[in-house]
């Protein structure tokens, strides 16, 4: 059985200077790269919206226009260039697809099963949206899920959203650990 790193939406629009900048989003680069070098497989999701996505303020939704398919904002953060990815999964592709979870209308569960993955280590952006939804769905799909606390950051539309999201992920069955804990123990290696 294999251990997989799942990097959620580590994209330009969610990091410094991006359209939906997540505070401290760039800071996850170090732990993400270190973990990627130690796990068997590495998968990344991208928020990948059409220009008229229903979640955009221009369409009456809650978010600024972000991660429009094919734009610089939707490209991976430069740190991902140093990571060898086994597959990329795009979500939120349809106008009405919420796309918070990497498992929504995607092949992610099948890709993980094809890779003989039983343990999924979740990191990326944002704690209170796509990380939350992806970790909860990974639990529901039957994977053993660990959320890497120092390799995620939240939007915090309301103060405390990230802490609440962590509680909900634990409630769903996810374990939380720091990258130092994981790298120090044999389990992530
Ligand atoms: C996300 C808000 C809108 C995320 C995506 O990746 O967490 N958040 N679209
Ligand atoms: Zn989005």
pLDDT digits (tens, 9 = 90+) for 96-117: 999 999 999 999 999 999 999 9
Do the Cβ atoms of 33 and 151 come closer than 8 Å? no
∠ CA(37), CA(143), CA(69), 5° rounding? 65
Residue 163, token pair as written in the block = 């802490």
What confidence category does residue 161 fall into, taking pLDDT thresholds of 50, 70 and 90? very high
Q: Which of 78, 69, 124 is nearest to 102 (CA)?
A: 124
- Residue 68: asked if its preceding bond is cis (omega within 30°), the reply is no
Interval 177-189 mean pLDDT: 82
pLDDT at 25: 98
Cβ-in-10-Å burial (0-12, 13-18, 19+) of 113 comes to middle
Closest CA to 93 of 123, 122, 50: 50
In the DSSP assignment, the letter for residue 31 is H
Judge whether residue 188 has pLDDT over 70. no
Read off the CATH number of the domain in which 99 is found: 3.40.50.850
- Looking at the structure of the chain, the number of domains it has is 1
How does residue 152 score in pLDDT terms, banded at 50, 70 and 90?
A: very high
CA neighbor of 123 nearest in space, from 20, 18, 19, 27: 27
Q: Phi and psi at residue 160, in whole multiples of 5°?
A: 95, -5
Listed in sequence order, the DSSP H helices in the chain are: 29-36, 108-114, 132-140, 161-171, 179-184
Q: To the nearest whole number, what is the mean pLDDT of the chain?
A: 97
Q: What is the pLDDT of residue 187?
A: 56
pLDDT at 22: 98
- Pocket lining: 74 vs ligand 1, CB cutoff 6 Å: no
Residue 103: name the closest of 165, 166, 145, 156 by CA.
145
Please give the residue range of the domain that contains residue 98. 2-188
Residue 185's pLDDT is: 85
Atom nearest to 126 CA in ligand 1: 7
pLDDT for 189 beyond 70: no
Cβ(10) to ligand 1 under 6 A?
Answer: no
Phi-psi region of 128 (alpha: psi -120 to 50; beta: other; left: phi over 0): alpha
Residues 106, 90: contact at Cβ < 8 Å?
A: yes
pLDDT of residue 71: 98
Q: Which ligand is nearest to the Cα of residue 62, counting in written order? A: 1
Q: Is the CB of 165 under 6 A from ligand 1?
A: no
pLDDT tens profile 30-83:
999 999 999 999 999 999 999 999 999 999 999 999 999 999 999 999 999 999
């Amino acid at each position: 059985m294999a251990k997989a790193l799942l990097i959620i939406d580590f994209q330009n629009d969610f990091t410094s200077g991006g359209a939906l900048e997540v505070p401290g989003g760039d800071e996850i680069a170090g732990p993400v790269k270190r973990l990627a070098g130690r796990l068997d497989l590495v998968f990344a999701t991208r928020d990948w919206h059409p220009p008229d996505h229903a979640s955009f303020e221009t369409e009456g939704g809650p978010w600024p226009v972000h991660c429009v398919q094919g734009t610089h904002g939707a490209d991976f953060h430069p740190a991902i260039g140093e990571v060898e990815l086994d597959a990329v999964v795009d979500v939120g592709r349809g106008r009405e697809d919420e796309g918070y979870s990497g498992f929504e209308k995607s092949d992610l569960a099948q890709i993980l099963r094809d890779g003989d993955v039983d343990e999924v280590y979740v990191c990326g952006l944002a704690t209170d949206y796509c990380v939350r939804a992806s970790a909860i769905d990974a639990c529901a799909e039957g994977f053993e899920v660990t959320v890497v606390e120092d390799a995620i950051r939240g939007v915090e539309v309301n103060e405390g959203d990230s802490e609440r999201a962590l509680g909900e992920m634990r409630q769903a069955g996810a374990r939380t650990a720091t990258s130092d804990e994981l790298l120090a123990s044999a389990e992530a290696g």
